[in-house]
Amino acid sequence: MLSSNEIKQRVALKATRMVEPGMTIGLGSGTTLYWFVTALAEHVKEGLNFVAVPTSTDTKRLAEEKGIALKTLDEVDSIDLAIDGADEIDPQWQLIKGGGGALLQEKLVAAVSRKLIIIADHTKLVDHLGHFPLPVEVVPYGWKHVQRRLEQLYRIPISLREKNNRPFLTDHGHYILDCHFKKITDAATLNSELNLVPGVVETGLFIDMVSGLFIGYADGSVKEF
């Protein structure tokens, strides 16, 4: 049986074949994308030519180190293909993302991409979303009032994400509230409701955005959907 990192490496390697010469691609964030960028860099050394739009400071830094040509989202008209990971994937291919804190830029890139391909290990497949805490990105100003409002609306525990005993800051200087729903029965409606709350910037619910999945298993197999 393969380890989690070995599974991610295999999934990432297989997904690199989706990248064709001349493409503009979106590079997601997270541990699985680390292996994808690393594997993709080997194709660059072999002469594969493409341009990538990173979705986080960490991905940008890694891609630059690996010699991948980059542009910002504002420098491209569209994106042919975005590759990203997920924290949870339900049977309808709705997602929870944002465990790494880059959900806003990930969603912006996904929204302008012709295809969004999710690469993940089999543990991310779930019967319903919500066991993984849903990240909700909020502005720092008045964040406690947003937290209280969401707690009142949904009767769930909500925690401010922290790092080194200080509020975790996204690339845009926002905070993240981790919402412990346990079970989300209507992800699309919840996403709409949350975005109507003043102070909410974006949610980690990715609704009707996925074109395909590459899922890795402990026996070494990778299934494409």
Do residues 8 and 80 share a domain? yes
Do residues 40 and 145 share a domain? no
Number of domain units in the chain = 2
Q: Looking at 32-41, 107-116, 193-202, which range is the least confident one?
A: 32-41
Query: DSSP strand E in 74-124: where?
Result: 81-84, 88-89, 95-96, 116-121
What mean pLDDT comes out for the span 173-197? 97
Residue 110 Rama label (left phi>0; alpha psi -120 to 50; beta): alpha
Instruction: Give the closest residue to 162 by CA, choosing from 177, 151, 142, 146.
Output: 177
What local confidence, expressed as pLDDT, does residue 5 receive?
83
pTM (predicted TM-score): 0.92
Do residues 50 and 94 share a domain? yes
Q: How many CA atoms lie within 13 A of 206 on its CB side?
A: 29
26 within a domain of the structure (yes/no): yes
Do residues 117 and 29 share a domain? yes
212 within a domain of the structure (yes/no): yes
Tell me the per-residue pLDDT of 127-176, one tens digit each, with 9 for 90 and over. 999 999 999 999 999 999 999 999 999 999 999 999 999 999 999 999 99
Do residues 108 and 163 share a domain? no
What local confidence, expressed as pLDDT, does residue 30 receive?
86
Do residues 194 and 212 share a domain? no
19 within a domain of the structure (yes/no): yes
CATH number at residue 37: 3.40.50.1360
- Average pLDDT for the chain: 94
225 within a domain of the structure (yes/no): no
What local confidence, expressed as pLDDT, does residue 134 receive?
98
Whether 106 is a known active-site residue: answer yes
Report how far apart, in Å, the C-alpha atoms of 189 and of each of 2, 81, 193, 207 are. 38, 27, 6, 10
129 within a domain of the structure (yes/no): no
Question: Which residues on adjacent β-strands are paired with residue 163?
Answer: 166
118 within a domain of the structure (yes/no): yes
List strands edge to edge, sheet with 116-121.
51-54, 24-27, 81-84, 116-121, 212-216, 222-224
Do residues 115 and 55 share a domain? yes
The enclosing H or E element of 206 equals: strand 205-206
Do residues 116 and 154 share a domain? no
CATH number at residue 163: 3.30.70.260
Tell me the per-residue pLDDT of 49-104, one tens digit each, with 9 for 90 and over. 999 999 999 999 999 999 999 999 999 999 999 999 999 999 999 999 999 999 99
Quote the domain boundaries for residue 113. Answer: 4-124+208-220
What local confidence, expressed as pLDDT, does residue 4 receive?
84
The enclosing H or E element of 34 equals: helix 31-45
36 within a domain of the structure (yes/no): yes
Please determine, for residue 220, whether its predicted confidence score (pLDDT) is greater than 90: no
Do residues 145 and 163 share a domain? yes
Do residues 93 and 162 share a domain? no
Do residues 185 and 155 share a domain? yes
What local confidence, expressed as pLDDT, does residue 3 receive?
84
Catalytic member of 88, 106, 137, 202:
106
Do residues 23 and 58 share a domain? yes
